[in-house]
Amino acid sequence: EAEEGLVEEEIPSLIDNGDNTVSDPIHNLMWAKQDSFHEFGYGVNWYEAHDYCESLNEKRFAGHDDWRLPSYDEAKTLFSFHKSNTDKDGAELHIDPLFDSGGGHNTWTYDEKPDFNQYALKFSYVTGNDVWENKDSEYSHVRIIRDDFRKEAWEPEWREKSKKLRK
């Protein structure tokens, strides 16, 4: 029987960090609020997407130098038909409105096609679909990501005191 008055702490799905980044405490990830289209005003190929990450790492964007392309599974975590934003053309994107509107409608991922590595996987925030795209295609964008090791900051206070969960 559950005790009366106990309220389970709700973990926020996304948090605006106030430095042009958004943290996802559930997946332990940090995203830039803007994508490559915001920076350049045009699409980038897969190689340029990596160069974009490298340039932001050199600048230590938001105080970090470990930005990268997301994996397919990571890119997918932003997508939800319950969320609404708009891309550069005014089309509906299914990502949280915490992200700046006016960006690209998809993102490159770092996933390369097995046995045919001229192709990489990209993910659409309009449809939720993925497609293998030639890495030279310049009709894509990138949302950069990094691992966010502040996960424990979002955990309940009592967890720190629990001996069972200490390693």
Condensed to tens digits (0 to 9), the pLDDT of residues 30-54 reads 999 999 999 999 999 999 999 999 9
Query: At residue 58, does pLDDT exceed 50?
Result: yes
Alpha-carbon torsion, ordered 50, 30, 20, 15, to 10 deg? 160
Domain boundaries, the chain: 15-150
Q: What is the pLDDT of residue 122?
A: 97
Task: Give 71-106 pLDDT, tens digit per residue.
Answer: 999 999 999 999 999 999 999 999 999 999 999 999
Query: At residue 152, does pLDDT exceed 60?
Result: no
CA 10 to chain centre: 21
Task: Determine the topology of domain 15-150 in CATH.
Answer: Mannose-Binding Protein A; Chain A (3.10.100)
User: pTM higher than 0.85 for the full model?
Assistant: no
Inter-residue contact 106 to 125 (CB < 8 Å): yes
CA distance 90 to 101: 9
Reference 53, options 97, 107, 10; nearest CA is 107
Q: What is the pLDDT of residue 1?
A: 47
Task: Give 90-146 pLDDT, tens digit per residue.
Answer: 999 999 999 999 999 999 999 999 988 899 999 999 999 999 999 999 999 999 999
Query: At residue 151, does pLDDT exceed 50?
Result: no
Q: Output the six-digit token pair for 147.
A: 């691992």
The stretch 2-6 carries a mean pLDDT of: 51
Q: What is the pLDDT of residue 11?
A: 56
CA 76 to chain centre: 8
Query: At residue 166, does pLDDT exceed 90?
Result: no
Q: What is the pLDDT of residue 115?
A: 87
**DSSP state for residue 108 in the 8-state scheme:** E
Output the average pLDDT for the chain.
Answer: 87
